[in-house]
Amino acid sequence: MTQTTDDRIARRNVGLLVAAQAILGSQITMIFVVGGLAGQQLSPIACLATLPISVIVFGSMTTAPWLSSLMQTRGRRAGFLTGAAGGLVGAGLSAYAIVIESFTLFLLGSYLTGIYMSAQGFFRFAAADTASEAFRPKAISYVLAGGLVSAVIGPQLVSYLTIGNPDATVARFLPVYYGAMALNVVGLVLFPLLRIPRPPAPAEGDDRGRSVAELLTTPRIAVAIICAMVAYALMNLVMTSTPLAVVGCGYAVSDASNVVTGHVLAMFAPSFFTGHLIARFGAERIIGTGLALLAGAGVVALSGVELGNFYLALVLLGLGWNFGFIGATTMLAGAHTPAERGRVQGLNDMIVFGMVTLASLASGGLMNCAGGSAVQGWSYVNLAMVPFLVLAGSALIWLAQGRARRA
């Protein structure tokens, strides 16, 4: 294939993946808004309120290795259809758990939702599969920009489906999970239309690439994974607690939905030009900018609990995630061979979502149990960002110094 043909196919695939990110991706923002609130009412212990969110991320983490392997052998379509099926069944089980008020079953449904979340994480890599080197960062960026639509659809669907409902029980969240079921059905139509060739099976004697140990000790791969892990984990740490903090400080559920809407818009709106910025300035500088924005989010959050503080902090948090995560994804995508694709991408997402799982678990504990009030809990959540920002910043500086020494 010529580069022109590659990019024509890539643009078609990107269009389908943008639609999937926009439509199916809405379920994640919907569930992240209500998951902690529903968990707070179903859980026997307040400290476990955000455990359903943590289980979703844990499901994504444990799914990533085998789902990546499935895509390497059976193709992207098989993996994405598996994800949509997991999301459909997971939302259905969660809805039934709400009906019978079973926290255990609610956690099982959350785990299955994590299968969809893991599949969604591979959309960005699928966008790069048929793209030329020049188009690759833009393809990744455009697919993540599909989240801009989900940022509007998801939280606003929550507001529409729950507003005006006088029921104060957990049953008021049922329509949200029914909506998530419907969104997954769309994927069963979209994903068969993708045109991404299945990777060729390795022949006897073919180079199968570096071992896991060799990959993890490759500086560019290691730093890309660290920065992606920190950007995603810190975003999740703060976002998971946000609905609890907003409602705990006396604001309405609709206010929490609107704050999350602003946050997710900030996560994805820059994606229309992030790829261009990476192509011009390099992934390292964009990642560094993202880490600085995440630090700024923490400063604003610690400055007060007015509604304006929540909005500004969550917007900065979204921008920081966008620059940090897209920059790290682009860095990783250019640091491995096609033979190593399944191994590297599965390893990356397992590590990233492993840390995100710990972050979401810590989020509920810090928010509900570290302080005597919502204000104190919110402060602890944001202070917890500091050591991880230092880790990622140090790794980025180390990589830059290594390149300078080799120059």
Number of domains forming the structure of the chain: 1
Residue 268 confidence (pLDDT) above 90:
no
Q: Is residue 201 part of a domain?
A: no
- The overall average pLDDT reported for the chain is 86
pLDDT digits (tens, 9 = 90+) for 113-168: 999 999 998 898 888 888 887 788 788 888 878 877 887 788 788 878 876 566 67
Please, what is the angle between helix 219-248 and helix 341-369, to 10°?
A: 30
Q: Is residue 343 part of a domain?
A: yes
Range name among 22-31, 198-207, 256-265, 299-308 with the lowest pLDDT average: 198-207
Q: How far apart are CA 197 and CA 74, in angstroms?
A: 10
Q: Is residue 230 part of a domain?
A: yes
The mean pLDDT value for 23-39 works out to 87
So what's the pLDDT on residue 171?
Answer: 84
CATH number at residue 290: 1.20.1250.20
Residue 207 confidence (pLDDT) above 80:
no
Q: How far apart are CA 364 and CA 352, in angstroms?
A: 19
Q: Is residue 197 part of a domain?
A: no
Residue 196 confidence (pLDDT) above 70:
yes
Residue 367 confidence (pLDDT) above 90:
no
Q: Is residue 204 part of a domain?
A: no
So what's the pLDDT on residue 291?
Answer: 97
Distance of CA 94 to the CA centre of its chain: 20
Q: Is residue 345 part of a domain?
A: yes
Would you state the structure tokens that stand for residue 191, as one six-digit string? 């994903």
The 3 state secondary structure assigned to 79-104 is: HHHHHHHHHHHHHHHHHHHHHHCCHH
Domain span holding position 347:
3-192+210-402
Would you state the structure tokens that stand for residue 354, as one six-digit string? 């492993």
So what's the pLDDT on residue 2?
Answer: 40
The set of residues, in sequence order, having a beta carbon less than 8 Å from that of 51 and lying 6+ positions away, is: 39, 43, 107, 361, 364
Would you state the structure tokens that stand for residue 207, as one six-digit string? 């180079």
Which residue would you say has higher pLDDT here, 202 or 273? 273
So what's the pLDDT on residue 72?
Answer: 82
Would you state the structure tokens that stand for residue 251, as one six-digit string? 């604001």
So what's the pLDDT on residue 3?
Answer: 43
The mean pLDDT value for 234-248 works out to 90
Q: Is residue 282 part of a domain?
A: yes
List b or e across 100-114, with b for residues whose CB sees 16 or more CB atoms inside 10 angstroms. eeebebbbbbbbbbb
Q: Is residue 186 part of a domain?
A: yes
Give yes or no for a contact between 266 and 319, defined as CB atoms under 8 angstroms apart. Answer: yes
Tell me the range of 49-63, 233-247, 291-305, 338-352 where mean pLDDT is highest: 291-305
Residue 208 confidence (pLDDT) above 80:
no
